[in-house]
Amino acid sequence: MPLGERHSGDKSESRYCGVETDFDDDMPNLLSLNIHGGFDFVVATLMDPNYRPSLVDECTSRSTALPFAGSDLVLTPSQWSSHVVGKVSSWIDLDSEDETLRKDSEIALKQEIAWASHLSLQACLLPTPNRTSCANYAKCLNQILQNLASMQLWLRIPLEKSEDDTDSKNPDFMVDRQIDSWEMWNSFRLLCEHHNQLSVALDIQSSLPSASSVARWFGEPVRAGIINTNSFLTNARGYPCLSKRHQRLTTAFFNHSIQIVISGQPVHSAVGASGSRADNNVKDGLKHPLKSYLDYVAYLYQSMDPLPEQERFELGYRDYLQSPLQPLMDNLEAQTYETFEKDTVKYSQYQRAVAKALVDRVPDENASTVTTVLMVVGAGRGPLVRASLQAAEETERKLKIYAVEKNPNAVVTLHSLVKLEGWEKTVTIVSSDMRNWDAPEKADILVSELLGSFGDNELSPECLDGAQRFLKEDGISIPSSYTSFIQPVTACKLYNDIKSHKDLVHFETPYVVKLHRVARLAPTQPVFTFTHPEFSTKASNQRYKKLRFDIQSDTGSSLIHGFGGYFDAILYKDVHLGIEPSTATPNMFSWFPIFFPLRTPICIQPGTPLEVHFWRCSGSTKVWYEWCVASPTASPMHNTNGRSYWVGL
C-alpha cells in the first residue's frame, strides 16, 4: 500500500516502501506476508544461500536444472515485476583471495542475475564491493551489463561517516574509517564505464556524514535508501523514530524519487501502531513485526509540504535536456509563446520596472502633458506591451508605444490584440528586425525580454546593441544589466543521457534543463556581465573569465560532470529578476538553468581547488561558448570555434 498520496500531484515512485527479507523458498507466502503487512515490495534473495557451484556434482549439473532456485511459476509475471526486487547472495565475493570462493562467486553472480532478468524483475540488489579491491567484481559485472536487458542493478553502498571518527590508538581502524564510501562507488562505476543500468542503494547508518558530504549523493543514481532498524531511535512511548538529520535525509530521498527499504529485525518495544491501515495489516491475527517502522516512514511522507505550483508545473521537465532557443534564427511557435506568457511573476517585475522608470522620467507636475516614448523590442504576442500600459495607468503617465517584432506570425496576433484592447491610438506595431529598423523618433525607454538561461545566450547583447541607436542618450534600457553565473555539479543522469548519443557534438552543447537530481558542489560565481545602454565605441561582446571554485573540505571527493549556469538581471534600479539560486525570483518559471557538460568527468579531492575557464566568442554570423577545466586535471577544450554548438546572428 503506498505511503500516501501527495496533494502536490507528485506521483513519484518514492511513495513506495519495501522491506528486506531473509531467504524463503516459499516465495508466495513471503510476498503475501509482507504485502498484507503494508509493504509495497520485498527485497528478497532468490537463491538458496547454501548453494555453491563447486559443490554441485558435474554429472548432475549436466543432466538436470541447477538446484539454486524455485520455479518462476510460483508468482505471476506482474507480481515478480511489481513486488520483488532480487538480492544477490551475500556470500558472493568476487575479489576474494580464496580462488574457489572467487570462481564460485563469478559463476553464481552470472546465474543469479540471469535468473532475476528471466523473472522480469525491475531491479536486483548487489553486495557491497570489497573495500581494498573491487576490480574483478566490476569486470564481471561490466560483462553482464553489456548484455542485460532493462533491469537495474543496485550496488549496495554504506553511507558512512568518514570524518572526525578515527581512533588514534588503532592505526588499522583509522585507515579503514578514512575510506570514503563514495570513493568505493566512484571506483566501481568508473570500471563499469558509467553504465546507466548501474545505480546505488545507500545503506543508512545510525551516524551520518556531514550535510555537504551527504549532498553529493543527490547527483548520483541513487535508487533506494536502506534504513536498518538499528538506525531508529525510540520515542517516549517505545515506538521507533528517526533523528532530525535522518528525517531530513529521508524527506530528501522522497523529493528525489528514492525509495525507502526497511531492513533488520524489530528492536523496539512497540510491535505495532494504531491507525486506519491496521485492519489491512493483519494476517492470521498478527501484525507485521516491522509495521511500526513502516508507519513512521509513512508519517514522514505524509507530513511533507505539498509542492508549490511552480514545482508542480516543472515536474515533467526535471533533468530533461532541451536545446536552447535560437530566437534570431527561428520564429517561435504559438505554444512556446503561450508557455512564457503564463509567467505572471516575470511580467509583474517588468511592470514594476517600467513604472519606476516612468516616474523617474516624468515628474508628477508634468504627468498630464509629457508623453513618454517606449519601444518594446521583441514584442512577441504583446505581454510586455500590456505590462507597460498597466505601468502607465498605475503611475498616471502618458505613453506612446512602438511594438517591434520580427516574427510575422506574432505580428498577426499583435494586430488582433491592439484592435481587441482598443490600443490603436497608443500602440504602433512594427514588423521588423530591431537591428534593421529605422525608428521615426528616439525612445525614452527601451524594453526587451531577450534574456536566456545564461543571460546573454539568446544574443540579447547583439540585439540591444543594434536597437540602441534609437534610444535617447539619457534613455533607459530595461533590463539595464545582467550577469551569468556557473557552479560545478554532479549530474550522473544528465551525463549518461548525453553519453548515450555516442558523439562529440552532444558533449559540446549547452542544454536548458530543470536541474533536480544534481549535487551543487560549490556556490555560484559570476561569469559575464553586460550593461545597457553601452555607448562605448570600443565595447566588445566577446568575454573571457577564469574562475576558481573551492569545494568544502567536509564534502569529500566528488565527480564533476559539468556546470550549472544561471543569470541575474537588474531590470531597473532595485527591480531584478533571475534564476541564480541564492537570489532567484520566487515562482518564476520562464527560465530553467543551462548545463555545460564535460566530455570526461573530473574527480576532485577534498581541499583541492577547481580552476575553470569560460569564453564567449563571436564571428560575423554566430556566437558561441568555449569552456575547459585547467586544474586539478586538464580537460579538453570544449566547442572550439563553435564546431558543435553556436547561436546564429
Q: What is the CATH number of the domain that holds 352?
A: 3.40.50.150
In a domain, 476, yes or no: no
pLDDT attached to residue 175:
38
Say how many domains are in the chain. Answer: 3
Distance CA 497, CA 546 (A): 28
CATH assignment at residue 636: 2.70.160.11
193 and 152 part of one domain: yes
471 in any annotated domain: no
**Residue-level pLDDT at 169:** 43
Residues 176 and 33 both lie in one domain = yes
Q: Are strands 123-126 and 222-228 parallel, antiparallel or unpaired?
A: unpaired
- Among 426, 449, 472, the domain boundary falls at 449
In a domain, 18, yes or no: yes
The list of the chain residues with pLDDT below 50 reads 6-8, 11, 59, 62-65, 164-177, 272-283
Half-sphere exposure of 377 (CA within 13 A, CB side): 31
Q: All 3 cell numbers of residue 420? A: 481587441
Judgement on whether residues 238 and 115 belong to the same structural domain of the protein: yes
Interior/surface letters 296-326, b for 16+ CB within 10 angstroms, e for the rest:
bbbebbeebeebeeebebbeeebbbbeebbe
Shared domain check, 133 and 272: yes
pLDDT in tens, 68-118: 567 888 899 999 999 999 999 999 999 999 999 999 999 999 999 999 999
Distance CA 592, CA 205 (A): 35
Q: What is the pLDDT of residue 332?
A: 86
Give the catalytic positions in this structure: 449, 458
Q: Are strands 609-618 and 622-631 parallel, antiparallel or unpaired?
A: antiparallel
Does the annotation flag 346 for ligand binding?
Answer: yes
Q: What span, in angstroms and rounded, lies between the C-alpha atoms of 498 and 321?
A: 9
475 falls within a domain: no
**pLDDT confidence of residue 164:** 46
Q: Centre a 10 Å sphere on the Cβ of residue 366 and count the other Cβ atoms it contains.
A: 11
Query: For cell 553601452, what's the residue?
Result: 534
β-strand partners of 578: 568
Nearest-angstrom CA–CA distance, 565 and 484: 7
Q: Considering the domain boundaries, does residue 455 fall inside one?
A: no
* Position 95 in a domain: yes
What is the torsion angle, in degrees rounded to the nearest 10, for the CA atoms of residue 254, residue 256, residue 259 and residue 265?
-60
Residue 461 bridge partners (DSSP): none
Q: Between the CA of residue 373 and those of 293, 309, 332, 359, 398, what are the distances in Å?
A: 67, 37, 27, 13, 9
434 known ligand binder: yes
**Binding site annotation covers 462?**
no
Check whether residue 345 and residue 288 sit in a common domain.
Answer: no
**Residue 328: its pLDDT value, please?**
76
Contact present, 229 and 263 (Cβ < 8 Å): yes
Are 479 and 569 in contact by the 8 Å Cβ rule? The answer is yes
Same domain, 643 and 584: yes
Query: Residue 62 has what pLDDT?
Result: 47
Query: Is 405 labelled a binding residue?
Result: yes
Q: Give residue 372's identity as a one-letter amino acid code.
A: T
**Plot region of 422 (φ>0 → left; ψ -120 to 50 → alpha; else → beta):** left
Regarding whether 353 and 275 lie in a shared domain, the answer is: no
Whether residue 40 is contained in a domain is answered as yes
Q: Are residues 256 and 143 in the same domain?
A: yes
Range of the domain at 65: 13-307
**276, 154: one domain:** yes
Pair (356, 244) in one structural domain: no
Same domain membership, residue 299 and residue 233: yes
Instruction: Check which CATH number belongs to the domain holding 40 and give it.
Output: 3.20.20.150
In this structure, are 350 and 231 located in the same domain?
Answer: no
The answer to the question of residue 588 being in a domain is: yes
In this structure, the strands spanning 17-20 and 259-263 are parallel
